[in-house]
Chain A
Amino acid sequence: MLCLVPALAVTALTSAREPASLLLGIEGAGVATLLAVMVLARSDLVVPAIAVVAIPEGASLALGGGAILAPVLGSALLAAAELAFWSIDNAVPAKESTGVVIFRGLRLLTVCLIGCAGAFALYAISATPLSGGFDLTAIGIVSAVGVLVIVLWLGRAVLGYGAKP
């Protein structure tokens, strides 16, 4: 069912004259899925449910509306996902300790703020009046490879993939 969501979003983007109602419908289905996931306490389905909500939002942004709000929207999605995880995960019950609640809330807020700042920085970079060319393409390729290397290094260091037992 989740595979249908991107297909519907693409259909809405390409063919429909008034895609807003379709996207709203998909997003509503995403919210309903998230609620169902929380009721069923299936932490492994939280991210797919968030994706169902996020894909219509992304499609809406692609259509050109409210791009400036995208970082805030992304932070809100992250907050929704984390709160959903928190409500399902009974490892640290929220009622047990006010300190834990405050700590986790502050941590989430910090990440959301950093995320927003990063996204706005991205906007700022993309808005610079630089045209394309060999130099910028080379910098882009090197940056992409660098990001990939960092991700692989983190994966190896944190998860132990490729490490000797």
Chain B
Amino acid sequence: MTRRPTPRLAGYAALVALGGLGAVTLDRIAVLALVVPFAVWLARGLATAAPPSVELLGGPDRDRSAEGDELLWESEVRVRGAVGWLDLVLELPPGIQSGIAGARFRIRPSTGRFERVTWTLRPIRWGSYRLGPVTVRTQDRLGLVSYSQRLGEPARLRVYPSFERLRKLVPPARTQLSSGNRISRRHGEGLEFADIRAFTPGDRVRRVNWRVTARTGIAHVNDFHLERNADLILFVDSFADLELDQDSVLSLAVRAATALADGYLGERDRVGVVGFGGVVRWLLPGLGPRHFQKVVEALLDTQVVASYAWRDIDVLPSRVLPPSATVVALSPLLDARSVGALADLHHRGFDIVVLAIDPERFMATSSRIDPLALRFWRLLRVARRRSLQRAGMIVLDWPQGVDLETLLAQAREYRRFARRSAA
């Protein structure tokens, strides 16, 4: 337990010393008599001061939570020794808020008895956190010596991002070979009518279109679209981040990625993750509810790690990027490396949709930035966006006040328009 003198100890000691010096200098015992009560307070306080023994048990009621949910940290504390009060401060990272100011409890413990203390916590940002330990502070009864000690082990808490449920998604340009809910361009067994063609040996009789056959005199059959799934890769750019009021570019990107993963996995598509930044992380594409948990866990570890090393997609294993996959990139387009990687992916034949998060929504209005520098920065971003658009990618700006659903609707329109233009 760390011990420190309080201002009272230092002040009283100085007063006593001043009194003694004054008495000697002025040759007046009365000056010394004036400070004798302070000397008695010091003597009694120092003679009786002893560090208390504090025992602390407890921790959070769960190790996983969602943004905005409440969780409890319950502790039981027992003190042996003479203390007037006890301060208990739970150390919290910036993304976790406490119900009480400073996460500080002040109790008057009875010696030898367990006292229960409960903190109500609210995670306001997704992430992987370490909560605690609890710092205990107290003073001796005469307020001369303060004691502090950190007790308990830090607890891990994983906070999952909150996300909006998407009703309609951007249909992938190409499908895979496994069955799924997406209507493939290829014909075969399925439910969606595609075309009528002449009968060929091997066609099922139940697929014969009798009306056309009767009209033409030649056997015709109905053709159907195959129902297949698609592969979606969520490309989260973590090279740079801007933060404002506990929200940031990366926070928004991770929430959007979670919503997209939830939507596409619900459509029986395979979803993989690539966290592209100072540290490159990936998750192989998979499907199902369990894979959603894996995706979220992978996204929680996304963070900005400063690095000046040039990175390209060659560092990714080939299984992370299956052929004909659709890549949905969430990027503020602030770093040339992520723009280069997207261009590289496009050249390799991947279908790319870029959701370009506007970083200016996370800039404080009071921030003093040189207007010329800001203008140059904006131009650089516009140039990067246009270079991607010219290459043929769908690039959509994500300004403030627009939700992901609206943005995806724009992407669908863009794709439909592009197909019509191509036709």
Interface residues of A (CB under 8 A from B): 43-44, 46-48, 50-51, 54-55, 57-58, 61-62, 67, 70-71, 73-75, 77-78, 82, 85, 89, 91-92, 100, 107, 111-112, 114-116, 118-120, 122-123, 126, 154-155, 158-160
Contacts and interface: CB of A to CB of B under 8 A. Distances in A.
Contacts of A85: 8, 143
Interface string B139-152: 10111110000000
B38 A78 contact: yes
Given A61-B28, A62-B22, A91 B106 contact: yes
A159 B4 contact: yes
B41 A111 contact: yes
B37 A75 contact: yes
Given A74-B35, A123-B29, A158-B144, 17 more contacts: A47-B11, A51-B18, A58-B22, A58-B31, A70-B33, A71-B36, A74-B36, A74-B38, A77-B34, A91-B106, A114-B37, A115-B38, A115-B40, A118-B36, A118-B39, A118-B40, A119-B34
5 contacts: A50-B11, A57-B34, A92-B84, A92-B108, A154-B47
Contact of B44 (A71, A91, A111): A111
B386 to A, nearest CB: 59
A44 B38 CA distance: 16
Nearest to B108: A92
B5 interface: yes
Given A91-B85, A159-B5, A119 B33 contact: yes
Contacts of A116: 36-37
Contact of B12 (A47, A70, A119, A158): A47
Most-contacted residue by chain A among B26, B29, B34 (CB, 10 A): B34
Contacts of A122: 29, 32-33, 36
Most-contacted residue by chain A among B3, B35, B142 (CB, 10 A): B35
Contacts of B87: 91
Contact of A43 (B7, B44, B108, B141): B7
Contact of B37 (A47, A107, A112): A112
A15 to B, nearest CB: 16
Contact of B85 (A73, A74, A92): A92
Q: Which 8 A-B pairs have the closest CB atoms?
A: A47-B11, A115-B37, A67-B30, A119-B33, A70-B33, A119-B36, A61-B30, A70-B30
Contacts of B35: 54, 74
Contacts, number: 126
B15 A158 contact: no
Nearest to A127: B29
A106 B211 CA distance: 109
B374 interface: no
A48 B11 contact: yes
Contacts of B240: none
B21 to A, nearest CB: 10
A119 B37 contact: yes
Contacts of A126: 29
Given A67-B28, A114-B40, A47 B8 contact: yes
Interface string B195-207: 0000000000000
B54 to A, nearest CB: 16
A40 to B, nearest CB: 14
Contacts of A73: 34
Interface in B138-171: 139, 141-145
A129 B194 CA distance: 126
Nearest to A62: B26
Contact of B49 (A50, A91, A120, A158): A158
B320 interface: no
Contact of A74 (B28, B37, B143, B145): B37
B139 to A, nearest CB: 8
B19 interface: yes
Given A70-B30, A71-B36, A85-B143, A91 B11 contact: no
Nearest to A120: B33
A123 B7 CA distance: 30
A71 B33 contact: yes
Nearest to B87: A91
Given A115-B40, A159-B5, A123 B33 contact: yes
Nearest to A114: B40
Contacts of B144: 158
